[in-house]
Amino acid sequence: MHEACDGSDVMWTFGQSANAVLQRATDGLLADAVRRWDETRVPQRLFTGFWYQAGTWAVPRWVVAKVEAHAQGTNRRFVATNRAGAGMYPEATYDAYAMRGESENRNKEFKCGMGMDALSDHRFRANYFRLYLHAAALNLLARLRREVADPPPAPAGEVPVAALPELDRKAYQNARRRADPLGEGQPATWRLLLIKVAAAVVVSCRRIVIRLTGS
């Protein structure tokens, strides 16, 4: 896979399994993280990068290592990459790899939230049109998310939100969800807050009646 991506001029970051060589190369960094945790009781995330060549690789490749120390113990993870800047910004390189799950969330949203796999017609063209409608609905939802409210101000600094360290990025996203549940809302959230529980309010001289939907 590495060779195929290199030959196609594709930038890549792949998870790298730990082994004795990689563990020895990061033993000192892990010990430093454990020492800082013991002294401060603040969870530690430390990063480093170095050249490494596995036995099956034709050339050395850059590996980014993350070590953690916290109340649950220690953790060590590795990724191999050819991305420019990985040597200067190992933390950002690893966090960009960790964010791969965000694109998977969009696939899950399309399948589960929009029901894009409800293609039960025996005709190809009918199923194609259904899929087209599901895609249009997802695009409409994405547009509505941007229109319901302005996002909260990004943290001070020149780095865009997507490039913030993991903890800062999660804090920002959680703050946005609290301030604007629809702007970050899944399709089910929109159905619950706006569509499924829509109501009619009938005002008379004696009372106010709220008629909820039965579905």
Domain boundaries, the chain: 2-97, 101-202
Predicted confidence at residue 146, as pLDDT, reads 77
Rounded average pLDDT over 87-112: 87
Residue 105 vs residue 184, higher pLDDT: 105
* SS3 (DSSP) at 64: strand
Which phi-psi region, left, alpha or beta, contains residue 155 (left: φ > 0; alpha: ψ -120 to 50)?
beta
Predicted confidence at residue 174, as pLDDT, reads 79
Sole residue written with tokens 């899944």 = 186
Predicted confidence at residue 193, as pLDDT, reads 75
Asked if residue 102 has pLDDT above 60, the reply is: yes
Rounded average pLDDT over 92-107: 84
Band of the pLDDT at 15, cuts 50, 70, 90? very high
CA distance 202 to 185: 29
pLDDT digits (tens, 9 = 90+) for 37-77: 999 999 999 999 999 999 999 999 999 999 999 999 999 99
CA distance 215 to 202: 19
Print burial letters for 121-149: b (CB count within 10 Å at least 16), e (below 16): eeeeeeeeebbeebeebbeebeeebeeee
Asked if residue 112 has pLDDT above 70, the reply is: yes
Asked if residue 16 has pLDDT above 60, the reply is: yes
Predicted confidence at residue 189, as pLDDT, reads 81
Rounded average pLDDT over 122-132: 94
Asked if residue 107 has pLDDT above 90, the reply is: no
Least confident of 14-18, 126-130, 187-191: 187-191
Residue 66 vs residue 192, higher pLDDT: 66
Burial class of residue 28, CB neighbours in 10 A (0-12, 13-18, 19+): exposed
Question: How high is the mean pLDDT of the chain?
Answer: 86
CA distance 139 to 135: 6
Predicted confidence at residue 133, as pLDDT, reads 94
Structure tokens at 142: 């994405």
Asked if residue 196 has pLDDT above 70, the reply is: no
Asked if residue 21 has pLDDT above 60, the reply is: yes
CA triplet 199, 202, 203: central angle to 5 degrees? 140
Q: What is the DSSP string of 164-207?
A: S-HHHHHHHHHHHHHH-TTTT--HHHHIIIIITT-EEEEE-SS-
